C-alpha cells in the first residue's frame, strides 16, 4: 500500500513556537512530527510515501531527501522511498490529489501531516475492505469535540451526517474525524463527475471530496480509541510530548492488550431518575467529568455498559437512546472528557407491556448480570479483562464484572465488590493512586 501525507500546512496557531519551519517539522522530544509518521509507516510495511509540501517545503526535502539516504542531497535514511509534490500555490487539503489521479490504481492511505498517532493498520484496512465504500475515515473521541468535525455513522459504519465546526449542533456524539483515511481509486472518478480534478485547483478534502460521498452511501467511518492527536495549539503540542515520553502513544495501538474501566450509566455517571426517556433527564453526577477525564489521561479505555429494557418495552426507540447518549457525550466533552464506546442491551425477558417489541422480549447474554456487553467490548478492542474494572451501583453490575473476569468497584457504598466507594471520583482516586504506587 502507498501512503500520501499532506505536509504543506503552515500551522498558524502553533507558529508562535517556531515560525521558521513548516508545521510537520515541529520537533517532539527532539524529532520532527513527520519523522514519527514515516517511522510508523515503515513498521506497517508501506511501499512508498508521497509527501505533498507547500509552505517552506524545501525544509522537508532537505531533511528527508529520497528517504533512503541515497539522494544527491543526502537526507535522513527512513527506509521508505519518498516522492514529493510541491504546491507552488496553496491547493487546499485535497487539490494536490489531482497529480495522483492517474497513478493510484489501488487503495491508499491519506494522512494529515500534523498528527501523532499509532494505530493497527491491518484492522483499519480490513474494516475498509468489509465496508466496500470509496473512502473510510478513522474516527475517534477527543477532549475538544466542540471545535472538531463530528461524524455520525450507523452501527455498520455508514456515515449519515458530517457536522463541521460552523454547523449548528445541540447534542452530539463524540466521534471526530482523526485525519487518517483509506481511499479507493474510484474516488477520483466520483470527484471528476462533480467537476473536480479536471485541472490543478484548490479543493477541500472534507467538504468537497468526502462529504459528498454520504449521499451515495460511499463514505464509512472506522471508530477507534487508538492514539491520534493533532498539534493545533501550543497546549496540545506540549500534551503530545508528555504522552510520547510516557510511552502512552504506542500502548494504545489495538495490536496491544488494553486495560478498560467499564462504567454503568444510571446512578454511576448520572443521577438515578428511574428510566431516562429524554436527553434532558440525563444529568451528570458531580465529579463525573473530572473522573472520566482522569481515566482518559491514564490510558484506560472508558466504556459504558448499560441495560436499556425501555427499548424492548416500546417506551424508547434506539434513535431516541442515541440522542440521550449524545447529550451525555456533549456534557462530558465540555469538560474535556470522553467515553471510548457505549454498549447497551435493548432486551427484556418479561412480556405484558403496552407497545412492547416482541423481537426484543427474549433472554439474552448481554443483559447484566450476564457479561455479554463486556465480552463484546473485549473482543472489539483487544481488552485484557483480568486487568480491567467494572464500576457500578447495583449487584447486577458486580455480577457482570465478575463473570467477565474483571475487578469490581461498588459505587454508592455497594458491597460485595473488590473495592467499595462513595462515588466514581473516589474509585478513580483509588485506582490511579494504586497505579502510581506500583
Q: Locate cell 472520566: which residue?
A: 292
**What pLDDT does 69 receive?**
80
* Mean per-residue pLDDT over the chain, rounded: 93
CATH code for residues 257-437: 3.40.50.1000
Sign of CA dihedral 62, 67, 68, 70: negative
Mind listing the pLDDT tens digit for each residue in 98-137? 999 999 999 999 999 999 999 999 999 999 999 999 999 9
Q: Is the pLDDT of residue 14 over 90?
A: no
Q: Report the length, in residues, of the chain.
A: 438
Over range 251-263, report the average pLDDT: 98
- 434: pLDDT strictly greater than 90: no
- pTM for the model: 0.93
Quote the pLDDT of residue 159.
Answer: 98
What does residue 415 show for φ and ψ, rounded to 5 degrees?
Answer: -90, -170
Over 90: is that where the pLDDT of 430 sits? yes
Neighbours of 317 (CB within 10 A): 13
- Helices and strands (H and E) in the chain: how many: 11, 19
Check residue 146 and give left, alpha or beta (phi > 0: left; psi -120 to 50: alpha): alpha
Taking 80 as the threshold, does the pLDDT of residue 13 lie above it? no
* CB burial of residue 32 (10 Å; 0-12, 13-18, 19+): buried
Asked if the model's pLDDT at residue 234 lies above 90, the reply is no
Residues noted as catalytic: 264, 266
Same fold, 2-230 and 257-437: no
- N- to C-terminal Cα separation, the chain: 42
- Domain ranges (residues) in the chain: 2-230, 257-437
Domain 2-230: state its class: alpha beta
Amino acid at each position: 500500500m502507498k501512503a500520501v501525507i499532506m505536509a504543506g500546512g503552515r500551522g498558524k496557531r502553533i507558529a508562535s513556537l517556531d515560525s521558521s519551519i513548516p508545521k510537520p517539522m515541529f520537533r517532539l522530544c527532539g524529532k520532527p512530527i513527520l519523522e514519527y509518521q514515516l517511522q510508523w509507516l515503515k513498521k506497517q510495511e508501506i511501499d512508498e510515501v508521497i509527501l505533498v509540501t507547500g509552505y517552506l517545503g524545501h525544509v522537508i526535502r532537505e531533511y528527508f531527501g529520497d528517504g533512503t539516504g541515497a539522494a544527491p542531497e543526502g537526507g535522513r535514511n527512513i527506509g521508505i522511498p519518498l516522492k514529493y509534490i510541491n504546491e507552488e500555490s496553496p491547493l487546499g487539503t485535497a487539490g494536490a490529489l489531482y497529480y495522483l489521479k492517474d497513478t493510484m490504481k489501488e487503495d491508499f492511505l491519506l494522512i494529515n501531516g500534523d498528527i501523532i498517532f499509532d494505530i493497527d493498520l491491518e484492522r483499519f484496512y480490513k474494516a475498509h475492505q468489509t465496508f466496500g465504500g470509496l473512502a473510510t475515515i478513522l474516527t475517534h473521541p477527543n477532549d475538544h469535540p466542540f471545535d472538531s468535525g463530528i461524524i455520525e455513522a450507523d452501527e455498520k459504519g455508514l456515515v449519515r451526517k458530517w457536522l463541521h465546526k460552523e454547523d449548528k449542533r445541540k447534542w452530539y456524539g463524540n466521534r471526530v474525524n482523526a485525519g487518517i483515511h483509506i481511499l479507493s481509486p474510484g474516488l477520483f472518478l466520483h470527484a471528476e463527475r462533480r467537476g473536480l480534478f479536471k485541472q490543478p485547483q484548490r479543493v477541500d478534502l472534507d467538504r468537497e471530496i468526502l462529504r459528498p460521498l454520504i449521499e451515495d452511501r460511499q463514505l464509512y467511518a472506522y471508530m477507534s480509541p487508538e492514539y491520534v492527536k493533532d498539534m493545533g495549539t501550543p497546549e496540545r503540542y506540549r500534551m503530545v510530548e508528555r504522552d510520547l515520553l510516557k510511552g502512552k502513544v504506542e500502548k494504545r495501538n489495538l495490536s496491544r492488550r488494553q486495560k478498560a474501566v467499564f462504567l454503568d450509566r444510571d446512578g454511576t455517571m448520572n443521577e438515578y431518575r428511574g428510566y431516562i426517556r429524554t436527553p434532558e433527564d440525563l444529568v451528570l453526577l458531580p465529579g463525573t467529568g473530572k473522573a472520566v477525564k482522569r481515566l482518559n489521561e491514564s490510558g484506560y479505555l472508558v466504556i459504558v455498559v448499560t441495560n436499556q429494557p425501555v427499548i424492548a418495552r416500546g417506551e424508547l426507540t434506539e434513535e431516541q437512546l442515541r440522542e440521550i447518549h449524545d447529550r451525555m457525550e456533549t456534557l462530558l466533552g465540555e469538560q474535556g472528557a470522553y467515553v471510548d464506546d457505549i454498549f447497551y442491551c435493548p432486551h427484556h425477558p418479561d412480556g405484558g407491556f403496552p407497545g412492547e417489541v416482541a423481537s426484543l422480549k427474549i433472554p439474552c447474554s448481554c443483559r447484566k448480570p450476564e457479561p455479554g456487553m463486556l465480552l463484546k467490548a473485549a473482543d472489539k478492542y483487544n481488552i485484557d479483562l483480568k486487568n480491567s474494572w467494572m464500576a457500578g451501583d447495583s449487584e447486577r453490575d458486580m455480577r457482570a464484572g465478575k463473570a467477565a473476569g474483571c475487578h469490581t468497584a461498588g459505587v454508592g457504598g455497594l458491597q460485595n465488590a473488590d473495592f467499595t466507594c462513595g462515588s466514581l471520583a473516589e474509585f478513580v482516586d483509588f485506582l490511579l493512586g494504586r497505579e502510581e504506587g506500583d
